[in-house]
Amino acid sequence: MDFELSEDQRMLKKMVRDFAKKEIIPIAAEIDKSGEFPWECVKKMGNLGMFGLVLPPAFGGTGPDKLSFFMALEEISAASASVALALLCSNGAARQILARGNEKQKRKYLPAMARGERLGACAVTEPSGAANWPYTLQSTARLKDGSYVINGSKCFTSNGGEAEVYVVLARTDPEKGPLGISGLIVEKDTPGFSFGRREEKLGLRGDVSRELFFDDCRVPKANFLSEGILPSVTREVAMLIMPALGAIAVGLAQASLEAATQYVKERPVAFGQMLANFDGVQSTIADIATKVEASRLLVLQAGAMSEDAADLTPGAMAGVFACEAALEVTSKALQLFGAYGYTSDFPIERYFRDARGLMIIAWPMEVRKLIIGRLKLGLPTLASPRAIEG
């Protein structure tokens, strides 16, 4: 497959790289240390049009261009994976509105989201959630007097408390099982909608995650997206979210490769020899570089695929491979630093912690592999609970 970039894509890649070096790298360590949401970076990304890359011009975007979006995520995550996740999670919500919303909903919400003026978030995960979450989802939405009344809670919601537009999955018809789960748009200031504390996480600390609480939260009927939303969610996960997480993983892995390469070329060990002169170090660098490039090619392939592509596996596989590769790459790179890699004097320990988080965030790795396996076997992606462990 030809990955020759257009002139516009090359210009975008350079613009994002320059932006990341100037605006994100100098404050990346502080974002990680404080765990605060990177609002300053988010606003600047909005001004540069990064939130509109996967939305069509009719609704304020410049796309849909997944390839450009993935390249932008890679460049941003090489500076801070947390900042990249703020961009991705908002786009995940916008894409659900694009896929399942009516014309009025799209025109009301998407232009401001495409400009980065209103952040989005997807509220799916619950404390009881696991691989069979469509069967255990507890949040409910009941139609009453022209409004949907939502009750329940969500956890580990990225952009939680910061976003203004939430796509919430709730059970509207218990008799239909997973097909009775619907999507609803809930705005931040809606009565009955509140937030819990910010989660203190090992990595991806600037990716602010909070609990969401719905206590007789009434949303207008006009905010109803659709019943039976799961096929749309699964498609967006496989086509956008999973390869986008892979793009973030590639950025982390590339940053680790560059940091390790520079370190071993400068670190003297004995008799004037540098670490780079040792066979074992050279072999490790070769392994790291190969994993980075293989991951990047898989993500680029997913980005080049048509929006209407029937085969969802390339995007899903790109996300799985790249995230697993990033964990291996950051671990090996840290080892090259020795004890110094385990300190906050170098960013490699942050890359490692963030890479570990990519194995869990959004959909756990086991669920992502389950989707791929069932797609390759020609089975429905929504398995019965008896077919799923965990």
Three-state secondary structure of 302-352: HHHCCCCCCCCHHHHHHHHHHHHHHHHHHHHHHHHHHHHHHCCCCCHHHHH
Go through 45-71 and write b for each residue having 16 or more CB atoms within 10 A of its CB, e for each that does not: bbeebbbbbbbbeebbbbbbbbbbbbb
Percentage of the residues of the chain whose pLDDT score is greater than 90: 83
pLDDT at 382: 61
Q: Which amino acid is at 373?
A: G
pLDDT at 2: 61
Q: What is the mean pLDDT of the chain?
A: 93
179 vs 105, more confident: 105
- Digit-coded pLDDT (tens) for 266-321: 998 877 789 999 999 999 999 999 999 999 999 999 999 988 888 999 999 999 99
- Digit-coded pLDDT (tens) for 84-119: 999 999 999 999 999 999 999 999 999 999 999 999
Q: What is the torsion angle, in degrees rounded to the nearest 10, for the CA atoms of residue 104, residue 105, residue 111 and residue 114?
A: -150
Looking up tokens 């703020």, which residue turns up? 86
pLDDT band at 162 (very low <50, low <70, confident <90, very high): very high
Q: What is the pTM of this model?
A: 0.95
Looking at the predicted structure, is the pLDDT value of residue 330 above 70?
yes
> Would you call the peptide bond into 174 cis, given omega within 30 degrees of 0 as the criterion?
no
Mean pLDDT of 177-192: 95
Percentage of the residues of the chain whose pLDDT score is greater than 70: 96
Mean pLDDT of 153-182: 95
Mean pLDDT of 324-347: 97
